[in-house]
């Protein structure tokens, strides 16, 4: 286990009683502000998911860097803007029986407080040219097994005829975990395929022409392995985590993109897709998922639109607290003995989703699940993040702690990874740097007096060096890689902001999120968008932080 350097806990919210008192006062003041002016949210009607047969998909990515003397831990990682949206106030549930209305008040040290409205997005229905996944799966929690039928509707948008299709099968990297029972193409059994490590190659009976579509069927079982101490996929004594658990089609960019894994960093690259999961499991099992649950007898349906991954965590011991930001439901899943921490990260999530929805783009999904698990750091997926049990154990209230800082880092990945994707292996800074600097923005607006603490605790404590544009294969060690990509990345963003000025900098962030919403960006896309918002000379900043010329 890594040993974490813990901070002196701030006592502003140091006890449960002071926390409740603060919320109660806020509730009263906020209710006065919004009693006359706040619009009532209109309930959204979501379209029926187009069934191709029955099956969807899932997958994940890791996240932050934690202050520690010795670190050998995994790290964290994420097009066209979502159309429909609705504006509403923030509904805060501090406990299952307490509800209140809250407004977001950004409070940078240099500015006067202003009340900001929060816009939340309606998830979009299945889109014709996105890959569709529909999964029917039965999870035996006690036996640690899962049986699944998966249907994939794949549209050839590559511009070239395809003689094969490549899928990522991450469970096959765990000996004996994945069993492929059958493969079909357009309802005909497919026998010409190969499964090697993480790569499943389907040799098509005839080339799939540009603009054409095909339907793939896959039957498989998972013998879910015991979770490694530092890992995420698998089971432990009271929890099963299913991340990147089903075969998914990898992107095609002058060839199929499926990079080799590394001990640290993320190697997977995702297209956005529309996913439906029909799940059956034990009645006593609580499931945290990337999408809201729709009970249907002994089955539960989950639908997720425009996402890169679909992730599940199941336990018969989960406790849950919930809240909301506009139409977005936020749920915190934790274990007995950790309620204060579970409620604390829920409160921080409300603050983060509220702020980031204003500063970046509307939150891209219907729900957000925050899940306690036994890992070393945090991991982000569409609509769901995992946080280390150690962080929950260290929590003593307030916001000066790993649970809050790493928690909001992972939540920021809902924008920088989920909404705006990238190649996490070759250009990891495009999501990790952005998520790290989003922590700074979180503290700046919610806790303006904590700025110096954040820089020292999260960044400068490690005396970071290295080039921001370091791929996972060139990082050398976890510490050196994290220092370069995450921490030097935060300093680059701060210097870029100073050079551009606040107005242009935040206009850039919004434009960047809108331009590349549900797409994938490159380094050139990033700097082209920066230059569209400033005429400032950035050459010296670029030379200091980047190994290449862009």
Residue 60: per-residue pLDDT: 33
CB 511 within 8 A of CB 360: no
Taken in order 386, 391, 393, 395, is the CA torsion positive or negative? negative
Q: Which CATH class is domain 131-313?
A: mainly beta
Element (H, E) at 301: strand 299-307
Mean pLDDT of the 251-259 span:
97
- Phi, psi for residue 218 in degrees, rounded to 5: -135, 130
Model confidence at 127, pLDDT cuts 50, 70, 90, reads: low
In terms of Cβ atoms closer than 10 Å to its own Cβ (0-12, 13-18, 19+), residue 512 is buried
Residue 230: per-residue pLDDT: 82
Residue 229: per-residue pLDDT: 83
Model confidence at 435, pLDDT cuts 50, 70, 90, reads: very high
User: In the predicted model, is pLDDT for residue 30 greater than 50?
Assistant: no
Least confident of 104-108, 417-421, 487-491: 104-108
Top pLDDT among 185 and 72 is at 185
Model confidence at 225, pLDDT cuts 50, 70, 90, reads: very high
Task: Give the residue extent of every domain in the chain.
Answer: 131-313
Top pLDDT among 66 and 101 is at 66
3-state secondary structure of 14: coil
Q: How far apart are CA 324 and CA 327, in angstroms?
A: 7
User: In the predicted model, is pLDDT for residue 382 greater than 80?
Assistant: yes
Top pLDDT among 53 and 430 is at 430
> Which residues contact residue 410 at a Cβ distance below 8 angstroms, ignoring those fewer than 6 apart?
63, 64, 76, 378, 379, 380, 385, 386, 387, 435
- The crossing angle, in degrees rounded to 10, of helices 502-515 and 523-531 is 130
User: In the predicted model, is pLDDT for residue 113 greater than 90?
Assistant: no
Residue 404: per-residue pLDDT: 98
Q: How far apart are CA 273 and CA 257, in angstroms?
A: 16
Residue 124: per-residue pLDDT: 56
Tens of pLDDT along 4-19? 333 333 322 233 333 3
Mean pLDDT of the 498-511 span:
98
Max mean pLDDT among 23-32, 97-106, 178-187 falls in 178-187
Residue 550: per-residue pLDDT: 85
Tens of pLDDT along 350-369? 999 999 999 999 999 999 99
User: In the predicted model, is pLDDT for residue 314 greater than 80?
Assistant: yes
**R_g over Cα of the chain:** 22
Tens of pLDDT along 47-100? 333 332 222 232 333 444 444 333 332 322 222 223 333 333 333 333 332 333
Model confidence at 35, pLDDT cuts 50, 70, 90, reads: very low
Mean pLDDT of the 118-140 span:
76
How much of the chain exceeds pLDDT 90, in percent? 75
Name the pTM for this structure.
0.81
3-state secondary structure of 145: strand
Residue 537: per-residue pLDDT: 96
Model confidence at 125, pLDDT cuts 50, 70, 90, reads: low
């Amino acid at each position: 286990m890594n040993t974490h350097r813990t901070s002196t806990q701030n006592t502003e919210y140091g006890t449960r009683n002071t926390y409740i008192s603060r919320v109660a006062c806020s509730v009263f003041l906020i209710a006065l502000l919004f009693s006359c002016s706040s619009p009532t949210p209109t309930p959204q009607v979501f379209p029926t998911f187009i069934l191709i047969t029955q099956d969807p998909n899932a997958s994940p990515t890791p996240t932050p860097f934690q202050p520690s003397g010795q670190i050998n831990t995994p790290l964290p990682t994420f097009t066209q803007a979502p159309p429909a949206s609705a504006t509403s106030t923030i509904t805060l549930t501090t406990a299952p029986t307490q509800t209140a209305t809250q407004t977001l008040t950004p409070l940078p040290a240099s500015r006067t407080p202003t009340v900001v409205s929060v816009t939340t997005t309606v998830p979009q229905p299945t889109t014709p040219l996105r890959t569709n996944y529909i999964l029917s799966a039965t999870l035996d929690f006690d036996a640690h097994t899962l049986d699944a039928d998966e249907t994939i509707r794949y549209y050839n948008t590559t511009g070239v005829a395809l003689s094969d299709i490549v899928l990522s099968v991450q469970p096959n990297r765990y000996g004996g975990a994945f069993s492929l029972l059958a493969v079909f193409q357009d309802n005909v059994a497919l026998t010409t395929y190969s499964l090697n490590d993480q790569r499943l190659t389907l040799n098509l009976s005839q080339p799939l022409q540009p603009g054409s579509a095909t339907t793939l069927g896959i039957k498989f079982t998972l013998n879910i392995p015991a979770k490694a101490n530092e890992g995420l996929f698998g089971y432990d004594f009271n929890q099963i985590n299913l991340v990147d658990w089903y075969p998914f089609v990898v992107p095609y960019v002058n060839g199929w993109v499926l990079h080799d894994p590394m001990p640290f960093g993320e190697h997977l690259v995702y297209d956005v897709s529309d996913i439906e999961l029909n799940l059956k499991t034990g009645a006593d099992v609580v499931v945290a998922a990337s999408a809201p649950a729709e009970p249907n007898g002994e089955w539960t349906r989950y639908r997720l639109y425009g996402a890169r991954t679909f992730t599940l965590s199941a336990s018969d011991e989960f406790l849950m607290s919930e809240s909301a930001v506009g139409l977005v439901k936020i749920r915190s899943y934790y274990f007995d003995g950790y309620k204060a921490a579970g409620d604390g990260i829920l409160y921080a999530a409300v603050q983060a989703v509220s702020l980031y929805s204003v500063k970046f783009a509307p939150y891209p999904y219907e729900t957000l699940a925050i899940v306690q698990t036994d890992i070393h750091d945090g991991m982000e997926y569409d609509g769901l993040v995992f946080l280390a049990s150690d962080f929950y154990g260290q929590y003593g209230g307030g916001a000066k702690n790993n649970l809050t800082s790493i928690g909001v880092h992972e939540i920021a990945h809902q924008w920088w990874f989920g909404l705006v994707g990238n190649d996490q292996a070759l250009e990891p800074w495009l999501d990790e740097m952005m998520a790290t600097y989003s922590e700074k923005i979180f503290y700046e607006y919610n806790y303006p007096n904590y700025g110096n603490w954040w820089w020292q605790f999260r960044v400068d404590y490690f005396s970071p060096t290295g080039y921001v544009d370091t791929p996972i294969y060139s990082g050398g060690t976890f510490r050196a890689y994290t220092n370069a990509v995450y921490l030097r990345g935060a300093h680059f963003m701060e210097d870029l902001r100073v050079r551009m000025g606040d107005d242009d900098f935040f206009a850039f962030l919004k434009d960047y999120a809108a331009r590349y919403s549900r797409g994938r960006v490159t380094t050139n896309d990033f700097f082209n968008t920066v230059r569209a918002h400033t005429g400032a000379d950035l050459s010296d900043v670029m030379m200091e932080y980047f190994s290449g010329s862009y």
